[in-house]
């Protein structure tokens, strides 16, 4: 994460900076409130501000809001004056860190506020296939569309792709298109010039320029309005952007990742999403299965969250009981990984014995998980398999089903056209014509792999 420290680097604040760097933060420093806003406006991005509580924190937050800059603030100060600490929180600071600092407290605050240190925990074969594909495409600069239900881990896989890419040492910038009002999103993405609108007192660098050389994640891209989609399409095609109120384009070098929990092909049919933009974004699709379709990950993730929240709350790490594991694996988790994480956070706080038993794992309404029924679990698995298979075809045209079958068979044959044609029961000429048609429409066609003939 990127940390901007605001204040004079006294001995205690310097110690806090060193601890933050040891915890993995990339730290920069300015001395004044005015310099902090100027740095953020000029594109020196930050995921978190650590501000001396003797400075005008309310003024800093107000100035940032006026510039449409939203970065969380934590206050810090020597002596831990209760009144000053309370004033800082009331002014908008998320946390207060007393100085001299403690390394564990610094690390915990950074993790709690930024939440960008989320390792990839994978045990289930369904997710292992997704990771394998992510590993294949990560070194390229291809745009990737990451799809899946809310809470399934789309941003986690996006960060994973960035970390495995050639741009790993450069910025990873995330923009939640659903969380930013439509009239502010354009400025957030592309920046603005002084005087472009009321309150634009100076040039503001947008997320495209802030991510230059690195990766830009457009989270929940389906929520972007049609006018802005057109501007985004031009940015992707030309690799240049226009600031709001600007008079000349600005070149950018970034890789685009996008996520959606909606069916964008259906959104295209409904006229709410541009088809040409979908083709630009969907060079490769990473579909994250919901947690109920990857039961092998449930216990591994649960144990990871137990360790995380035991450390965050200064509590001993307790193992999960056998019955707790059975109930965790049997639950469908409609809220996916996010729901499981919240449940395990509660369990860490509620467990009273030497283990985290089944009664400590509570649903949001306070009820415990239902007992695991092995017969019901088997029936649920069979039903889920049938549901998944049927859902993959419902709503598709015959041509779309044919395309999916041809491409899946070709991939199974490692790109060997002759073998695929034999399996499909069609001539090699028909197969080649179909593949040529798909390629011309912008569809990715599997190439022959090492040792597989392209005949």
| Span 48-61, pLDDT tens digits | 899 988 899 999 99
Average pLDDT estimate for 1-14 = 82
Residue 164 has pLDDT above 60, yes or no: yes
* C-alpha distance from residue 55 to each of 5, 7, 32, 33, 94 (Å): 12, 7, 8, 7, 16
Least Cα distance to 268 among 445, 442, 138, 388 occurs for 442
Number of continuous H segments (helices) and E segments (strands) in the chain: 19, 12
What pLDDT, on the 0 to 100 scale, is given for residue 98?
85
Q: Answer whether residue 391 shows pLDDT above 70.
A: no
Give the C-alpha separation, 278 to 272, whole Å.
Answer: 11
282-308 mean pLDDT: 94
Q: CA-based Rg of the chain, rounded to a whole angstrom?
A: 25
What is the spatial distance between Cα 107 and Cα 25, in angstroms, rounded to a whole number? Answer: 9
Are domains 2-114 and 128-287 of this chain identical in fold? yes
Residue 367, pLDDT above cutoff 80:
yes
Model confidence at 396: pLDDT above 50? yes
Separation CA 335–CA 328 (nearest Å) = 13
CA dihedral sign of residues 243, 249, 253, 255: positive
Mean pLDDT, residues 150-155 taken together: 92
Strand ordering across the sheet containing 73-78: 26-30, 2-6, 48-52, 73-78, 95-99
In DSSP terms, which residues pair with 97 in a beta bridge? 76
Lowest mean pLDDT among 31-40, 106-115, 353-362, 400-409: 106-115
SS3 37: helix
pLDDT > 90? residue 23: no
Query: What would the mean pLDDT of 25-44 be, rounded to a whole number?
Result: 86
Cβ atoms of 342 and 374 within 8 Å: the answer is no
DSSP letter for 288, please.
P
Query: 């239902």: which residue's tokens?
Result: 370
What stretches of 293-364 show up as alpha helix (H) in DSSP?
298-312, 322-330, 336-350
DSSP string, 381-439: HHHHHHHHHHHTTTT--HHHHHHHHHHHHHHHTTT-HHHHHHHHTS-HHHHHHHHHHHH
412, two tokens: 């199974």
Q: Rounded mean pLDDT of 179-195? A: 85
Q: Give Cβ neighbours of residue 172 (< 8 Å, ≥ 6 apart).
A: 159, 162, 211, 214, 215, 217
Say if CB 116 and CB 159 are below 8 A apart: yes
* pLDDT confidence tier of residue 379, bands split at 50, 70 and 90: very low
C-alpha–C-alpha distance, residues 191 and 67, integer Å: 10
Helix (H, G, I), strand (E, B) or coil at 439: helix
CATH of domain 292-375: 1.10.8.60
Question: Predicted confidence band at 451 (pLDDT cuts at 50, 70, 90)?
Answer: very low
Helix (H, G, I), strand (E, B) or coil at 192: strand
Peptide bond into 100 cis (omega under 30): yes
- How much is the mean pLDDT over the chain? 85
Range from 350-364, 390-404, 437-451 carrying the lowest mean pLDDT: 390-404
* Residue 234, pLDDT above cutoff 80: yes
DSSP state of 100: S
Measured CA distances, 117 to 120, 135, 167 (Å): 10, 19, 18
Judge whether residue 374 has pLDDT over 90. no
What is the dihedral sign for C-alpha 330, 335, 340, 343? negative
pLDDT level of residue 441 (50, 70, 90 thresholds): confident
- Segment among 242-246, 269-273, 335-339 with least mean pLDDT: 242-246
Helix (H) or strand (E) holding 127: helix 125-137
Q: Which CATH superfamily is domain 128-287 in?
A: P-loop containing nucleotide triphosphate hydrolases (3.40.50.300)
- pLDDT at site 216: 96
Q: At 404, which helix (H) or strand (E)?
A: helix 398-412
d(Cα 294, Cα 276) in Å, to the nearest integer?
Answer: 33
Provide the pLDDT for residue 345: 93
Average pLDDT over residues 226-253: 91
At the fourth CATH level, which superfamily is domain 398-440? Answer: Homeodomain-like (1.10.10.60)
Tell me 356's DSSP state: B
Between 134-138, 216-220, 346-350, 450-454, the lowest mean confidence (pLDDT) is in: 450-454
User: Which architecture does CATH list for 2-114?
Assistant: 3-Layer(aba) Sandwich (3.40)
- Going by pLDDT thresholds of 50, 70 and 90, the confidence category of residue 375 is low
Q: Is residue 116 pLDDT above 60, yes or no?
A: no
Q: Where are the domains of the chain?
A: 2-114, 128-287, 292-375, 398-440
Distance from C-alpha of 83 to C-alpha of 408, rounded to nearest angstrom = 65
Rounded CA separation 65/320 (Å): 44
pLDDT at 115 over 60: no
Contacts of 334 (CB under 8 A, 6+ apart): 292
State pLDDT tens for residues 204-224: 888 999 999 999 999 999 989
Average pLDDT in the 180-197 region? 84
Question: Among the ranges 113-127, 344-358, 382-396, which has the highest mean pLDDT value?
Answer: 344-358
Distance CA 371, CA 336 (A): 19
Q: Which residues is 52 bridged to in the sheet?
A: 76
Q: How confident is the model at residue 454 (pLDDT cuts 50, 70, 90)?
A: low
DSSP 363: -
CA distances from 118 to 14, 124, 163, 255 (A): 27, 18, 12, 21
Element (DSSP H or E) covering residue 89: helix 82-91
Q: What is the pLDDT of residues 119-148, one digit of tens each?
A: 789 999 999 999 999 999 999 999 999 999
Percent of the chain predicted with pLDDT > 70: 91
């Amino acid at each position: 994460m990127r940390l901007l420290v605001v204040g004079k680097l006294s001995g205690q604040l310097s110690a806090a900076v060193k601890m933050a760097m040891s915890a993995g933060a990339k730290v920069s420093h300015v001395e004044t409130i005015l310099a902090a806003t100027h740095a953020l406006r000029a594109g020196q991005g930050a995921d978190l501000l650590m501000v001396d509580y003797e400075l005008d924190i309310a003024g800093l937050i107000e100035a940032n809001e006026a510039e449409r800059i939203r970065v969380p603030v934590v206050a810090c100060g020597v002596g831990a004056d209760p009144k000053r600490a309370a004033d800082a929180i009331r002014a908008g600071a998320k946390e207060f860190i007393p100085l001299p600092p403690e390394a564990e407290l610094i690390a915990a605050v950074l993790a709690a506020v930024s939440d960008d240190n989320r390792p990839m925990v994978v045990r289930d074969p369904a997710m292992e296939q997704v990771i394998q594909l992510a590993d294949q495409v990560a070194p390229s600069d291809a745009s990737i569309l990451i799809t899946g239900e809310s809470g399934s881990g789309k941003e986690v896989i996006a960060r994973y792709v960035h970390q495995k890419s050639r741009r790993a040492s450069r910025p990873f910038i995330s923009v939640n298109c659903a969380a930013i009002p439509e009239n502010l999103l354009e400025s957030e993405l592309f920046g603005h010039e002084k005087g472009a609108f009321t309150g634009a007192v100076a040039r503001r660098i947008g997320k495209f320029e802030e991510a230059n050389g690195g990766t830009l994640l457009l989270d929940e891209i389906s929520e972007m309005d049609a006018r802005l989609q057109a501007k985004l399409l031009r940015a992707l095609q030309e690799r240049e952007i226009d600031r709001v109120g600007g008079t000349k384009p600005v070149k950018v070098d970034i890789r685009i990742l996008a996520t959606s929990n909606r069916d964008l092909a259906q959104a295209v049919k409904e006229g709410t999403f541009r088809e040409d933009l979908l083709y630009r974004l969907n060079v490769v699709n990473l579909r994250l299965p919901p947690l109920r379709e990857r039961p092998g990950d449930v216990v591994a993730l649960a144990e990871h969250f137990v360790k995380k929240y035991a450390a965050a709350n200064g509590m001993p790490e307790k193992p999960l009981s056998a019955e707790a594991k059975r109930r965790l694996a049997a639950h469908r988790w409609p809220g996916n990984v996010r729901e499981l994480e919240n449940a395990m956070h509660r369990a860490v706080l509620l467990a009273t014995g030497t283990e985290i038993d089944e009664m400590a794992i509570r649903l949001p309404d306070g009820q415990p998980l239902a007992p695991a029924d092995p017969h019901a679990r088997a029936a649920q698995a069979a039903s889920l398999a049938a549901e998944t298979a049927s859902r993959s075809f419902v709503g598709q045209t015959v041509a779309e089903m044919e395309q999916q079958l041809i491409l899946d068979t070709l991939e199974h044959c490692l790109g060997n056209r002759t073998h695929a044609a034999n399996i499909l029961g069609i001539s090699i000429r028909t197969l080649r014509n179909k593949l040529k048609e798909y390629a011309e429409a912008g569809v990715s066609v599997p190439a022959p792999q090492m040792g597989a003939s392209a005949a």
